[in-house]
Structure 1
Amino acid sequence: MPSTSLQSILDRGKLELTSAPILYRCEPIWSWRVDSLPGHAILLILDGRGKLTVDGTPIDLRQGLCFFLKPGAKIEAQQNPSYPLFLFLAQFENLNTVPKAQEEEEDINYESLFIHNARNLETLAELVASREPQDALFDDAIRMLIRLIVSEANHNAGNFDPNAYEALYAIENDLARKWTIADLAAEAKMSATSFARSFKRMTSEPPIHYVIRRRMEEAKRKIQQSSLPIEEIAINLGYDDFSFFRQLFQKRLGQTPESLRVGRTI
């Protein structure tokens, strides 16, 4: 399972940061180069695209990918200026997570994990980056972030498909569009049948179900965190028929959008 080392952080690791974690929207000329990583690092891509090279191995940077980088790794990273990166980076001096003998047996200096709802981690990453390591809330926040990364990665272990990902990326960047399987398959450059099968393996649900769930999650977030009229939120998510939106919201979330707004905490 790809998240063994991260899981061990939760089980018996001690987080000893060498610098404060950062949540960063990269400038157009951003790059990162380390000849030998002094400790461990977690690099989470919340948005954008680019290229990461670890010990000469090139890897595409995409929204939802998380990398656990290990000591001694040679790192080079650049972003695609057309799709600026939004990333979270935390570096550690020593995690003490695995026995030394096991560390010596590992030849690969990174783990690559896939989180298909990376934007759901943004608020927690922002909380971690805004706290000082000495803050009582810091340790709880960063452990919760790692726990969520591990949980998502375990759920989707081994199912990442770069072609199907293109459709997922398109969905996340245009939730209001009236997506069809044919449209999404075209984004993935796959046949409709192959795409639907691959997408379900990657996200554990059919493409249109994923679209609906993400719309409802976004509607819930906007109802709770903004003062936009609920009807406007529905329209912005592709629902011109408010009655239908309301019924779907209640079916999916167990309450009406109006009751959610009345009950929210400001």
Structure 2
Amino acid sequence: MEPGHGRFTRGVALLSQPLTLTRLSAPTFWRCEPNWSWVSVELTDHLLWCVLDGRGQLELDGNHQDLSPGVCAVFQPGDAPLATHDPHRRLLVFGMHFETSQYGVAPQPRWGEVMDRELLKALARTSDSSYRRGDALGQRQAELCLEQLIALIWDAVQQPSRRVTDAAVDEVARQLRQDPGRDWSVAEMADRAALSRAQFTRRFVKQFGMSPAQYLIQARIDRAHQLLTESGMTVTQTATALGYTDVPYFSRQYKQRTGRTPSQEH
């Protein structure tokens, strides 16, 4: 077994269950002052710490990490992190303290780079605004945001080699699923991911196990099933909506992937 693998497996198992919190502090945003530095005493609770803007350096137990947007950490009791930043590119940090009876919430290493910056910002904003409402539902929403943020950090620790280009390919795949009836070309997909056609196709196959063209067909069939079973649209209407000019061809593709003909779905 690789070093740390057992602990990682236990951590993933832990995250598959709701986080048992005994205390959650108010979520906080802070733009660090120009002369700011952080020399923490040993923490007595857990701390979620996410960089949203700026540049700096973080250190824990002799391990160093450059700080930039997307770098997030979960510290545990006993940790004593150190940090500095560039006063001309001041850090904007989101964080909250929390206590839990569960062991192994913090990953090792403590930090990872979350590639989906928009999701990170949205979760931070939602956590903050929900908590400050002061009601039970707001408290629960803040807790759910914390759980999601911790899961994102664990995922980033698990996949440290994941790059911006991987996120770009993910986004293209998401767009295919959202609008499968569009007349997509591989050239357009590659352009949206800022890659050559060859680079895009290689990365797409690596991430999804099939070519962009096959992925698009599957997205169309998935949407067709939804339209046929939920919308009341006819087979011809469904085929046309999803970009098929040949209804029999659509029916063959549908049956190949579902084992049923489109007419059987009505």
TM-score (norm 2): 0.51
Tell me which residue corresponds to 1:124.
Answer: 123
For 1:45-194, list aligned pairs within 5 A.
Answer: 45-92=51-98, 94-98=99-103, 111-130=110-129, 131-132=131-132, 134-153=134-153, 156=156, 158-161=158-161, 181=195
Aligned-residue CA RMSD in angstroms?
Answer: 4.3
CA separation in 2, counterparts of 1:155 and 1:55? 22
CA–CA separation in structure 2 for the residues paired with 1:13 and 1:157: 19
Q: Secondary structure at the match of 2:100?
A: coil
In structure 1, what is the Cα distance between the partners aligned to 2:12 and 2:193? Answer: 36
Q: Structure 2: where are the runs of 5+ without partners?
A: 168-191, 213-242, 244-266
In percent, how many aligned pairs have the same letter? 22
Q: 1:110 to 1:22 in 2, by over 3 A?
A: farther
Cα pair distance change 1:117/1:46, threshold 3 Å: same
Q: CA deviation at 1:72?
A: 0.6
2:24/2:97 contact within 8 Å kept: yes
Deviations 1:63-109 (A, max 9, x none): 212211010111111122333222211112x31112xxx79xx9x87
Alpha-carbon distance in 1 for matches of 2:9, 2:143: 14
Taking a change above 3 Å as real, the CA distance of residues 138 and 51 of structure 1, as seen in their structure-2 partners, is farther
Q: Which residue of 2 aligns with 1:24?
A: 30
Deviation at 1:110, TM superposition (A): 5.2
Structure 1, residues 132-186: CA drift from partner, whole Å, max 9, x if none? 4953133322233234335545655533249x56998xxxxxxxxx99559xxxx
Relative CO higher for 1 or 2, CA cutoff 8 Å, sep ≥ 6?
1
SS at match of 2:67: strand
In structure 1, the residue matched to 2:238 is: none
TM-score, length basis structure 1: 0.51
Q: Which runs of at least 4 in structure 1 moved beyond 4 Å after TM superposition?
A: 1-7, 153-157, 164-168, 178-182
Secondary structure of the equivalent of 1:11?
A: coil
